[in-house]
């Protein structure tokens, strides 16, 4: 009598989930776009802050105007971007403050060019005092409007620019890392499965 051995089905492994390689490209693109949008927004907010500060500053012609100041460091700006020389800051008693000349260009408002032409420091103990600010326009400058404020436009713009560059570098770096390290890889080879031996048939009763 022939004994039929039971057939043991081969073990089957679960299929790996389908890969979506387009997800990494989508995420990298979103990171790059977000970095550009945030940097652009940051620069726009900075321009608004600079414009508001200059509009609120004490202003007057280069021939001379009164600016109410207190002990602090002040910057003098040429709102038209024209160069000036011989800046003078005179106290009511006739004393003059030392003015450090500078020439730092910047943009503000609707496509306007400004120029930081100098800075001075009001000494401690002076209180709230009206100082007369005047300057001599450079040759061919025409009418020059000066502004005096404690707001450091050049330093603020430099800080904002570095912040925008930092945001772009970080986000672009993360996007590149996503593209490199999230790349699909071939599945590692598995060791061959040894076929299972069927159980021996029980002996037939005599």
Give 76-89 pLDDT, tens digit per residue.
999 999 999 889 99
Write the CB contacts of 117 (distance below 8 Å, at least 6 apart in sequence): 76, 77, 78, 83, 84, 87, 101, 102, 103, 135, 146
Per-residue pLDDT at 34:
79
Q: What distances in angstroms separate CA 175 from CA 27, 169, 178, 185, one per listed residue?
A: 7, 10, 5, 18
Q: What distances in angstroms separate CA 19 from CA 26, 182, 183, 203, one per listed residue?
A: 14, 11, 10, 52
Provide the token pair at 183. 């790349």
Lowest pLDDT segment from 69-83, 91-105, 124-138, 160-174: 160-174
| 60 DSSP β-pair partners | 146
Per-residue pLDDT at 130:
92
Higher pLDDT, 102 or 39: 102
pLDDT over 70 percentage in the chain:
77
Q: How far apart are CA 108 and CA 95, in angstroms?
A: 33
Provide the token pair at 190. 């598995």
Higher pLDDT, 22 or 53: 53
Q: pLDDT-based confidence at 121, cuts 50/70/90?
A: very high
How far, in whole angstroms, is CA 92 from its chain's centroid?
Answer: 43
Lowest pLDDT segment from 113-122, 139-148, 173-182: 173-182
- CATH hierarchy code of domain 58-150: 2.60.120
Q: pLDDT-based confidence at 106, cuts 50/70/90?
A: very high
Lowest pLDDT segment from 30-34, 75-79, 147-151, 190-194: 190-194
């Amino acid at each position: 009598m022939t004994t039929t051995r039971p057939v043991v089905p081969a073990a089957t492994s679960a299929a790996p989930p389908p890969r979506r390689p387009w997800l990494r490209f989508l995420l990298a693109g979103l990171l790059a776009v977000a970095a550009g949008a945030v940097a652009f927004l940051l620069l726009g907010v900075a321009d608004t802050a600079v414009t508001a500060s200059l509009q609120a500053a004490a202003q007057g012609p280069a021939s001379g105007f009164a600016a109410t100041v207190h002990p602090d460091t002040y910057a003098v700006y040429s709102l038209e971007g024209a160069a000036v020389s011989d800046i003078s800051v005179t106290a009511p008693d006739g004393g003059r403050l030392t003015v450090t000349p500078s020439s730092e260009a910047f943009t503000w408002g609707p496509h306007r060019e400004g120029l930081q032409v100098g800075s001075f420091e009001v000494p401690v103990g002076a209180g709230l005092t009206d100082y007369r600010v005047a300057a001599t326009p450079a040759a061919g400058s025409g009418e020059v409007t000066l502004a005096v404020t404690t707001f450091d436009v050049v330093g603020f713009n430099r800080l904002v620019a570095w912040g925008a560059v930092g945001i772009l570098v970080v986000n672009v770096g993360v996007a590149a890392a996503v593209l490199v390290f999230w790349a699909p890889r071939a599945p590692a080879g598995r060791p061959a499965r040894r076929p299972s031996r069927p159980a021996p048939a029980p002996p037939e009763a005599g």
